[in-house]
Chain A
Amino acid sequence: MNLPRPLPALVAALLLLPMGAAPAQAAGATHQVRIEGMKFVPERIEVAAGDTIVWSNKDFVPHTVTAAAAKVESGELAEGKTFRFVAKRKGEMPYTCRLHPVMRGTVIVK
């Protein structure tokens, strides 16, 4: 028995759809912040609650992502290391590099 030609494609599309789109939506979007030239780039980032932020250290000196009030502490990130954080609580979260206190950034969770 021959199936009509478009059917396999449709089945494949239906099978692929939940695998691709649905879980990504449930986990929230991912935002990248580079730590480069002794700065958080971008210094200010707006995200939705449930989104993930990934900081990547591009400098050859170690840095941290530290928000003392929010109890967020990445520990020392050597060059090339990353820190992932899921933003849950809405509001403004100022943070700094504990090692270089002149470096400052802000996460706004909406």
Chain B
Amino acid sequence: MKLSRLAAFAAAASFTALAWAQGGPSDPQIAGIVVAANQVDIDAGKLAKSHSKNKEVQEFAQRMITDHTAVNKQAGALVKKLNVKPQESDTSKALKAGGKENLGKLKGLKGAQFDKAYAEHEVAYHQQVLDAIDKVLIPNAKNAELKGLLEKVRPAIAAHLEHAKMMVSHLK
């Protein structure tokens, strides 16, 4: 528990303004963060869909796969239109590393333990992504269409967060 809290803190810290003391991320870096953030949650959703026996968890996992794939499709179309190449940054790399670590941890769990760990991580993850959208990504996006995409994505992340909290409460 302590370790996972520490990992969550590290991931949160890498997202926030602290990590961008030298000035915020550029638009290509923001695009890279968006794509990485979505892919991490799609991968976790795929694992949960195949591992969990709980109907609510499976449905939530499918929702994450569908919705985050839709966001990445929009992001992909926009970067193509703007001729921007998503760029890696310490944040996108930290996201991918955090996602990989979470998958590794989840793979070692079964049944109710797996469901609980997946659900709780989804709450923490969506809270971090929401904070990043509000504190780092929207304030630093220079292109109006990129900013518009982030503003359009925000309500979906907020709804996923509430949905994940609902799932956690049902698993208790």
The distance in angstroms between the C-alpha atoms of A37 and B154, with both chains bound, is: 8
Q: Which of A4-12, A17-25, A59-67 contacts B (4 or more CB under 8 A)?
A: A59-67
Complex Cα distance, B152 from A39, in Å, reads 12
Over the window 52-83 of chain B, the binary record of Cβ atoms lying under 8 Å from chain A Cβ atoms (1 yes, 0 no) is: 00000000000100110011011000000000
On chain A, the number of residues with a Cβ less than 8 Å from chain B's Cβ atoms is 12
Tell which of B73, B156, B158, B166 has the most Cβ of chain A within 10 Å. B156
Minimum distance in angstroms from A36 CB to a CB of chain B: 9
Are B70 and A60 in contact, with the CB atoms below 8 A?
yes
Question: Is B159 on the interface with A (CB-CB < 8 A)?
Answer: yes
Contact across chains for B163 and A61 when beta carbons are under 8 A apart: no
- B22, chain A: closest CB distance, angstroms: 33
B148 interface hit (Cβ, 8 Å): no
Interface of B, helix, strand, loop or mixed by DSSP: helix
Name A100's contact: one of B73, B152, B163 (CB within 8 Å): B163
Name A79's closest neighbour in chain B (CB-CB).
B70
With both chains docked as a complex, state the minimum distance between the C-beta of B149 and any C-beta of chain A, in angstroms. 10
Is B101 in contact with chain A by the CB < 8 A criterion? no
Q: Among the listed B66, B71, B74, B166, which residue makes an inter-chain contact with A102, where contact means beta carbons less than 8 Å apart?
A: B166
Check B159 against A100 for contact (C-beta < 8 Å): yes
User: Which B residues are in CB contact (< 8 Å) with A48?
Assistant: none
CA distance A92 to B166 in the complex (A): 25
Query: Do most interface residues of chain A lie in helix, strand or loop, or is the interface mixed?
Result: loop
Q: Are B156 and A38 closer than 8 Å at their CB atoms?
A: yes
* Known contacts A101-B166, A102-B163; is-contact A37 B71 (Cβ 8 Å): no
CB neighbours (8 Å) of A37 from chain B are 152, 155
- Cβ distance A33 to chain B, nearest Cβ, rounded Å: 16
> Roughly how many angstroms separate A99 CA and B63 CA in the complex, as a whole number?
7
Residues of A within 8 Å of B162, CB to CB, are 102
- Given known contacts A60-B71, A62-B66, A101 and B163 CB-to-CB distance under 8 angstroms: yes
Contact across chains for B63 and A100 when beta carbons are under 8 A apart: yes
Contact check, B152 vs A60: say whether CB atoms are below 8 A apart. yes
Given A37-B152, A60-B73, A61-B66; 12 other pairs, CB 8 A cutoff: A38-B155, A59-B156, A60-B70, A60-B74, A60-B152, A61-B156, A62-B70, A99-B66, A100-B159, A100-B163, A101-B166, A102-B166
* Selected A-B contacts with CB under 8 Å, 5 pairs: A38-B158, A61-B156, A62-B66, A100-B63, A100-B163
- Which residues of A does B touch, CB under 8 Å? 37-39, 59-62, 99-103
Which residues of B come within 8 Å of A, CB atoms? Answer: 63, 66-67, 70-71, 73-74, 152, 155-156, 158-159, 162-163, 166
